[in-house]
Amino acid sequence: QRFDDLGGTTRKVGERNLKNIDGEGMEEERVAVAGGVASRYALKAGRIKSEDILICIDVDAESMVEMKTTGTNGRPLIRMECVKQAIILFVHNKLSINPDHRFAFATLSKSAAWLKKDFTSDAESAVASLRGLSANKSSSRADLTLLFRAAAQEAKISRAQNRILRVILIYCRSSMRPIHDWPLNQKLFTLDVMYLHDKPSPDNCPQDVYDSLVDAVEHVSEYEGYIFESGQGLARSVFKPMSMLLSHPQQRCAQDDLDIPRSLAKKVPVTEAANSVDGNNIQIIS
């Protein structure tokens, strides 16, 4: 499925069941219904593990592109500023759900590099790591191999502590497809991607970049990995997917079945009921 260049469209992938190496996940049950047999899915009982979340931020020159949203000073926000704000909100919200979640940060230029290697549950320490983050002035192709290697190593440490590791990659390049060299049989962590890009033009290829990112998610993710994209240049196109990434990998449905948050334009219409009480018609929301 090609992404909508207005943003917000999710990927279309083949049907998959949610499973992990411990056998937890979604379990199919056959249920007798009128006229046939239907399938339903339910989570097996099991402990939901605390997360170690590695957030990797693209610091390519395209992360400095101006957005359509203006800041408090009346000037347009740049992608990097908006991403920082969204991450700070994400960290605080995630810790309000479970104070035991931990965060570390990396940057992506030609390859990945640590920004803050030690995972922490301290929000102030996590936020402080982002204050000095800045972008490069040049553009280049990104190699995700080192990011995946670091994540795999950290995932082994997390497993030993009965935790799981997730990588959130925020990618901003419209003409540079990411590459990686990673074996198919190593799925030790979950990969989520938020892709912020320019509109398609003769000078860029955001569709090809998006396809490469989808392949990366499918290639490395232990649990269901989500990928969101937007070429709108609006702040809500950053904050909305970050709020959806609050979902725990062990509790996710397949992204193809994801229908939240729902648009207010698609709300159920108000209908007039035929019922009457004391001679007065009553309006019912169906």
pLDDT for residue 263: 61
pLDDT at position 282: 37
Predicted TM-score of the model (pTM): 0.77
Q: Can you give the pLDDT at residue 33?
A: 46
pLDDT at position 75 is 82
The pLDDT assigned to 148 comes to 97
Inter-CA distances, 122 with 92, 97, 102, 204, 257, Å? 10, 14, 8, 40, 34
Count other Cβ atoms within 10 Å, centred on residue 193. 24
**Domain definitions of the chain by residue range:** 55-160+171-202+221-251
Q: Low-confidence residues of the chain, pLDDT below 50?
A: 1-34, 272-286
Q: Tell me, letter by letter, the H, E, C secondary structure of 184-196.
A: CCCCCEEEEEEEE
- The pLDDT value recorded for residue 8 is 39
Contacts of 112 by beta carbon, 8 Å cutoff, 6+ apart: 56, 106, 144, 146, 147, 150
**Angstrom distance (rounded) from CA 147 to CA 139:** 18
Number of helices (H), then strands (E), belonging to the chain: the values are: 5, 12
Q: What is the DSSP secondary-structure string of 96-138?
A: HH-TT-EEEEEEESSSEEEEEEEEE--HHHHHHHHHT----SS
**What is the predicted pLDDT for the residue at 276?**
42
What residue has token string 């670091």? 150
CATH fold group of domain 55-160+171-202+221-251: Rossmann fold (3.40.50)
Tokens of 95: 């810790």
3-state secondary structure of 43: strand
For 27, 43, 44, 213, 277, the CA distances from 31, given in Å and listed in that order, are 13, 16, 17, 37, 40
pLDDT of residue 188: 96
